[in-house]
Structure 1
């Protein structure tokens, strides 16, 4: 996702139930292992490394795939293959990138072949399906003066050649006004579409989620209200959508320093961990916010346990505004603002947009996160490693 300043609109506040605390039933906690940071303008095989907006691990190769959300501006739309050495990750404010090695880069091709033209695509999510040797990727969509483009979920071969498109319901497509406030506007908001992808644990279902609600469902989130987003499920065998669930995005956790200042929050990625159960990332930006004792990058990132098993299947419902439905249940797992380096300094949090399970490390399962630097010298490409604590450890921490 590219963070773009937008005009503020006054919209009626929508109230959502607050998430439960992790102590109430997630059953596990996440501990900080360390981080690595790739210097801006790092070059690899003729491309500028940046915009890393997803992360997926293949245990069979011990490698990771990461899509760049470069809109074919700096270089053609592409994804990278890389390796991460967790033993070299450091709990330090200046960790270096000794544990990060880029191995390959692949150009993503259009349906008819060839690279995407400049500004004709916005790649965001990516998952590798080892059982089928296919790669799935999502495009966010566009609602701009220059034109509308529907959000998309696609399949490609390992060499980047297009394979097929998944069938996205028509009500996700932007229509009506670019400013969306006019009657009759529908579909995704600009820059708040399909940022994420995850595969079900049994490998039969592919999920994506809108960062915020659709225009016809709820207004975008800000510092004073949340937004009712949607999780969309596809049957991989047929490519057709089979279920949808409402997901309540929190308000931006930090109020901007200037009245009416820009804020944004959304679901930037998620990871399936069980039957319709996920770890979701809600990433917020509130520039200029000052929080004592923290490194103020403007970003706040929270990880949630999200359970859709008892959520209403809203598949086929063009609008869920004012509908009596049960949303996905959420439990707060981790506020990354609380993480500390070895010297006690706060972890500077980047624009976290990707999450994956990693290899076992020191006897425990791991989760890896990646931050998109937006090709900005003021932001950074960051990898953060976490370990999954056992339920007994969680109990000890909460006593």
Structure 2
């Protein structure tokens, strides 16, 4: 399967032993589907919501968003054939349990269990950084407030450190701060290891409504961290596209948000938006090039809804999965992969099947041209 999708060109930046490629188009090479509930080393494969590639070890890291309900919160390593053929398959090579501050695995308790969503390997430190969306349940039976988080771990899953979270992103009983299941969905580093960007999935309550079918005011925030000081240094407003399709029925669940980001430089990111509507089989997956150089730092802006005194991130469409003419599920992770035999870099996307037999764990392999 080969589909060519064109977009803007981005600058080439040097990384450790490979380069962050210039992205002008993506050509689909192959699609893999992992069997539902495939077992591996006492765990159930599914819920794969983040992916990153380790160029030195030539393996992929895949974080699972199981909130310790099926098995303890965890991540996998895998080998993914590129470009692949009909007889190839994704090979999972190890599973590692994420550890809490006490050194134990996370228990199946919503007060403490994380909601893992993104993971990146830092080649400058040899450590992994992962994010959790936390939990926010407000009910007459009792409230559960579990703040989102960003954590640094070693390859054994042992917690080494965490990053401070700006006050605007702590969970609250009132309709303030982040929404449930709409927080730290994506993260990535600049090639020199100096900065980290973290993306929200949906708008904070103060920043406006969730994306609607004709909405033009749904702004989320991108947070920039200085990895030397480990502190947040800026925030940028990013406008979401509307939800792609009406749900069936009209009042049913629908959503559009950022499911992952990939850092090209300090001023340029790839941003993946994922739109889903009940009753519509395919998810609508769009990848945008986001340019930050003229965007306003909004870290001191209380509400992106009540003020328009800011310049948002500029974005341009690079890829729309609808043009692939294949079933596209809940794609939540993306990473650059190895260099292909022709010298071009590969790019890999992964879909989270939500452990649902009606959904698929999918891998899409592209050539970066």
Output the TM-score relative to the length of structure 2: 0.89
Report the structure, 1 or 2, having the larger strand content.
Answer: 2
Indicate the residue corresponding to 2:132 in structure 1.
139
**Aligned mate of 2:119, from 113, 126, 131:** 126
1:227-274 deviation per Cα after TM superposition (whole angstroms, max 9, x unaligned): 100000111122210111001111111122322222111100010112
1:224 aligns with 2:224: no
Indicate the residue corresponding to 1:87 in structure 2.
83
1:160 aligns with 2:140: no
Indicate the residue corresponding to 1:282 in structure 2.
273
Q: Is the 8 A contact 1:151 1:193 kept in 2?
A: yes
Indicate the residue corresponding to 1:365 in structure 2.
345
Q: Is the 8 A contact 2:49 2:332 kept in 1?
A: yes
Indicate the residue corresponding to 1:43 in structure 2.
39
**Aligned mate of 1:386, from 360, 366, 369:** 366
CA distance in 2, matches of 1:242, 1:349: 36
CA distance in 1, matches of 2:85, 2:116: 28
1:174 aligns with 2:158: no
Indicate the residue corresponding to 2:333 in structure 1.
354
SS at match of 1:131: coil
1:332 aligns with 2:312: no
1:59 aligns with 2:28: no
Aligned pairs (5 A) from 1:314-333 = 314-321=298-305, 322-333=307-318
CA distance in 2, matches of 1:242, 1:23: 30
1:97-153 deviation per Cα after TM superposition (whole angstroms, max 9, x unaligned): x33111111000001210011132111110011211111000012221241222111
1:271-319 deviation per Cα after TM superposition (whole angstroms, max 9, x unaligned): 0112221111100111223xxxxxxx23110111111111101123332
Task: List alignment gaps of at least 5 residues for structure 1.
Answer: 1-20, 91-95, 178-184, 290-296, 340-345, 390-399
CA distance in 2, matches of 1:162, 1:24: 39
Q: Is the 8 A contact 2:7 2:25 kept in 1?
A: no
Q: CA RMSD in A?
A: 1.7
Q: Is the 8 A contact 1:70 1:123 kept in 2?
A: yes
* 1:320 positional shift: 2.5
Q: Would the alpha carbon gap of residues 23 and 360 (structure 1) be closer, same or farther in structure 2, given more than 3 Å must change? A: closer
CA distance in 1, matches of 2:254, 2:213: 7
1:339-387 deviation per Cα after TM superposition (whole angstroms, max 9, x unaligned): 1xxxxxx211011010100011242111100000100001111110111
More divergent stretch after superposition (221-230 vs 302-311): 221-230
Equivalent pairs, count: 343
1:112 aligns with 2:91: no
Q: Would the alpha carbon gap of residues 47 and 129 (structure 1) be closer, same or farther in structure 2, given more than 3 Å must change? A: same
SS at match of 1:208: strand
1:202 aligns with 2:192: yes
